[in-house]
Amino acid sequence: MNALMPLTRQVSLTRSSIRTSERRTPGFTLVELLIVMSIFLLVSAIALPTVRTLISDQKVSQASRTIVAYLDEARSRAISEGRFVGVRIERASGAATVDFRTAAGVRLRQLRGVPPYTGEAADARVTFNYPTPGASTAGLEFSGVKNQLLLLYTDPTASLYGDDLNAPIKDGDLIELPGGRYFRLDLGDYTGSFASGGTDIVPATIDLDSPVSGITASFSNAFPVIHQPIDGASVPYRIHRSPVVSTSQSLTFPRGIVVDMTYSGIGIEGNQFAAQGTLANQPLEIVFGPDGRVEMTSIDAVGNQGLPTGLIFLCIGDSDGLQPATPFNADPRTPANLMNQDSLWIVINPATGRCVVAPNASVSSTASMPAALRDARSLAILSDTLDATP
C-alpha cells in the first residue's frame, strides 16, 4: 500500500476488504436447506415401502432356511441314533377357534427319540391271533400286569380312564414283531380289574396288509417264513413309541414370520393342518425314522397322526398375511399369504425325508381351496429339482 497515503485512508480500505471477504464466504440459506430437506423427505417416503418389503422378503427367506436346517438336524439325529426323532410346530394358541392365533405356527421344538418298549417283565409277550380267512386285521393281546404303560391309554370313544393324547403308548405307534416287520397299533380298551368282570387283557389290532418296512415301502402281507407267528402264539415284541418333547432344542421364529397353518397340509391340494373350531387345535408333529424317512405326521389339526400320503407342504409367510377368515384376500396392501408371491413353501418328501424351500406361484383360481392350493404349489411340487435356498 502506498506509504504516502493517509493513515485513515489505509484503515478504511482494509475494513472494506475484510467486509468483501466476509460476504464471499460460501454457505446455504435457510430457503435452500428447506428445499433440500423437502426433497429428502419425499424420496424417503417413496423408497420406504420398497425397503420395508425387501427386509420382509429377506426375513421370510432366512426363516425358511432356518426351519429347513432344523428339520434336517432332526432327520440326521434319527439316522445317527437309530431312533425316531421329530419336530413339533407349536401354534400361538391351541384353543378350539379359527383365528390368527390358531393359524400361526410360531415355534419349533425337537422331539427326542425314546427307547422301544418291551414291557415291564422280562417275559412280557404278546399273543398273536390270525384274522379270519379273507380279512387282514390280526388281533393282539397284551397282559395288563406285565405291560403297565398300555393301561394309560383309553380309546377316544370310551370313557374309562387314561389320557389318549398324553399316553406314553397310543394309537399309531409302531410295534415290531419277529422278522423285523413294523405295524401300526390300534389299541382297544383294557378289560382288567377296572372293568367289572373283565380279564387282564389289553387288546389291539394290526393290519397285515399294511406293514411299515424300515427299508422300503413294502406292502406284502406275508411274514418271512422262518419267523411266521403261529396263531395263538405268544411272541416277543418291541413298541417304538412316539418321541417326547425336548426341553432344550427349540427355535422361535423372527418377529412377524409364521408357518401359516391355513394353507399347510399333505398333498398338492391338502390343507389338513388348518385350524378347527370344534376341538382344541394341537401342534403339528413330523417324525423321522431311523432310515431318514417320515414315519409319522399329524394328519389334521386336532392331534390325529398317521403315515403321510403325499408331500408335506408348510406355508411360510408374514404374520399380517394370517387371514383365515379371508384366505384369498389379494389386496396389495395386506394380501393373504397364499396370494402373496413373497411367501415360500417348505416341502418335505416323506419317502426320503428331504426338505427344500420352493417359491409360491400366483393363484389364478379361488373357486375352492384345493384349486387355489394347486396353483400356489405348482412350482413347489418340482421342489426336488429346485435349489434349497432360492
Q: Among the three residues 208, 240, 272, which one is the final residue of a domain in this structure?
A: 240
**Residue 78 and residue 88: Cα distance in Å, rounded?**
15
pLDDT of 214 strictly over 50: no
Same-domain status, 214 and 263: no
- Residue 21 falls within a domain, yes or no? no
Cα 240-246-248 angle, rounded to 5 deg? 155
- Residue 16 falls within a domain, yes or no? no
**Residue 131 and residue 136: Cα distance in Å, rounded?**
6
- Residue 209 falls within a domain, yes or no? yes
Same-domain status, 107 and 256: yes
- Name the CA radius of gyration of the chain, rounded: 33
- What is the per-residue pLDDT across 20-51, written as a single tens digit (0 to 9) for each? 555 555 667 877 778 878 887 777 667 566 55
- Residue 134 falls within a domain, yes or no? yes
- Burial of 255 (C-beta count, 10 Å sphere; 0-12/13-18/19+): exposed
Same-domain status, 103 and 163: no
Q: Choose between 312 and 224: higher pLDDT.
A: 312
Same-domain status, 318 and 177: no
Range of the domain at 154: 126-240
Instruction: Tell me the pLDDT band of 86, cut-offs 50, 70 and 90.
Output: very high
The predicted model scores a pTM of: 0.70
Same-domain status, 257 and 230: no
Same-domain status, 259 and 158: no
Same-domain status, 234 and 175: yes
* CATH (domain of 86): 3.55.40.10
- Residue 19 falls within a domain, yes or no? no
Same-domain status, 339 and 216: no
Same-domain status, 221 and 249: no
If one counts the domains in the chain, the total is 2
Q: Among the three residues 210, 240, 270, which one is the final residue of a domain in this structure?
A: 240
**Residue 230 and residue 127: Cα distance in Å, rounded?**
10
Residue 158 pLDDT: 46
- What SS3 string covers 269-319? CCCCCCCCCCCCCCCEEEEECCCCCEEEEECCCCCCEECCCCCEEEEEEEH
- Residue 63 falls within a domain, yes or no? yes
Q: Choose between 277 and 195: higher pLDDT.
A: 277
Rounded to an integer, the average pLDDT of 139-168 is: 71
Residue 19 pLDDT: 55
- Phi (first) and psi of residue 356, to 5 degrees: -140, 165
**Residue 111 and residue 359: Cα distance in Å, rounded?**
28
pLDDT of 184 strictly over 70: yes
Instruction: Tell me the pLDDT band of 344, cut-offs 50, 70 and 90.
Output: very high
- Residue 85 falls within a domain, yes or no? yes
Of 130, 107, 120, the closest CA to residue 177 belongs to: 130
Same-domain status, 161 and 66: no
Same-domain status, 328 and 343: yes
Same-domain status, 160 and 229: yes
Q: What is the DSSP string of 63-105?
A: HHHHHHHHHHHHHHHHHHHTS-EEEEEEES--SSS-STTTTEE
- Residue 55 falls within a domain, yes or no? yes
Rounded to an integer, the average pLDDT of 356-365 is: 92
**Nine cell digits for residue 379:** 412350482
Q: Among the three residues 184, 219, 240, which one is the final residue of a domain in this structure?
A: 240
Q: Give the contacts of 22 (CB within 8 A, at least 6 positions apart).
A: none
